[in-house]
Structure 1
Amino acid sequence: MSAQVNRFNDVIRKLRKQLFGKGPERMETVFVQNMAVTTLYGNLTPTEKFIAGTDEGKEMVHAARTRLIQDVYAKAPPDGLEEIVGAKFVHLFSDIKVEEDMAVSVFVFDRPIV
């Protein structure tokens, strides 16, 4: 894994830990043209896992996780993110599969990542 990917993952992990009280246990990021595609494993806190024990709870955890992260990025990207990839952040597409405790985020930038 490249140093650039490691630094990118560190920024994402730190933000998620601040927001949710727990960062992902494992992350994989690939840069493709003007996008960073990050797969995050082991995201849920023990409380979220308990809440997700019902169908209604799964929906609540899913909605809370996806909306919160999208709202945060809509305001501003985390410090250092744009400097790491050398491009301006434009959009975030993010989703989580609660049952599998796996999330995917696609970060779109204004130019190809080098």
Structure 2
Amino acid sequence: MTIEHQFNMLVREIRKECVGNGPREITTRFVGPWAISEMKGNLTNIEKFMIESKKGHQVVHEARTTLVKEIYNDIEKVKKLEDLVQAKLVSIFADINIDSDIAMTIYVFDKPIIVNRENKN
């Protein structure tokens, strides 16, 4: 199993645990010290209902971008990611396009991620 696939599974597990559902589809690319994850199918049914109004759209966007960053304040969740990629998480950038239900999260690590290996964990 590739490190990208394992990273995607871990991100989905973390999001599902914290938000109630994980993304339907995740694609992650490692570029130097960055893990860039594109996630499709993030919104819950309640959020889809809420975004029908302008205020709901704003609330869901703010909640989703703020919540994602707060998820990674949990040391145990961060440790799982760090153990997988064998690097320390330095920063995280997150945004979501509510209309297309596509989220992007960039995880910045302290060193380049080696992708030419299969992790046996």
TM-score bracket for this pair, using the shorter chain length = over 0.9
Measured in 1, the distance between the counterparts of 2:58 and 2:85 equals 33
Q: How far apart are 1:77 and its partner, in Å?
A: 6.2
97-106 vs 76-85, greater mean Cα deviation? 76-85
Measured in 2, the distance between the counterparts of 1:21 and 1:97 equals 19
Measured in 2, the distance between the counterparts of 1:69 and 1:77 equals 15
Q: Give, as a single letter, the amino acid of the residue that structure 2 aligns with 1:58.
A: H
Partner of 2:85: 85
Q: For the Cα contact (< 8 Å) 1:70–1:94, is it kept in 2?
A: yes
Measured in 2, the distance between the counterparts of 1:83 and 1:6 equals 15
Q: How far apart are 1:72 and its partner, in Å?
A: 2.0
Q: For the Cα contact (< 8 Å) 2:61–2:98, is it kept in 1?
A: yes
Using the size of structure 1 for normalisation, the TM-score is: 0.94
Counterpart check, 1:69 vs 2:37 = no
Q: CA RMSD in A?
A: 1.2
66-75 vs 26-35, greater mean Cα deviation? 66-75
Gaps of 5+ in 2: 115-121
Gaps of 5+ in 1: none
Question: Partner of 1:100: helix, strand, or coil?
Answer: coil
Partner of 1:39: 38
Question: Partner of 1:74: helix, strand, or coil?
Answer: coil
In structure 2, relative to structure 1, the CA distance for the partners of 1:40 and 1:61 (3 Å cut) is same
Counterpart check, 1:98 vs 2:98 = yes
Q: How far apart are 1:55 and its partner, in Å?
A: 1.2
Q: What's the % identity of the aligned pairs?
A: 38
Q: Give, as a single letter, the amino acid of the residue that structure 1 aligns with 2:4.
A: V
Q: How far apart are 1:80 and its partner, in Å?
A: 1.7
Using the size of structure 2 for normalisation, the TM-score is: 0.88
Q: How far apart are 1:75 and its partner, in Å?
A: 4.2
Measured in 2, the distance between the counterparts of 1:5 and 1:81 equals 11
How many residues are paired up? 113
Measured in 1, the distance between the counterparts of 2:50 and 2:76 equals 29
Measured in 2, the distance between the counterparts of 1:6 and 1:72 equals 20
Measured in 2, the distance between the counterparts of 1:19 and 1:57 equals 20
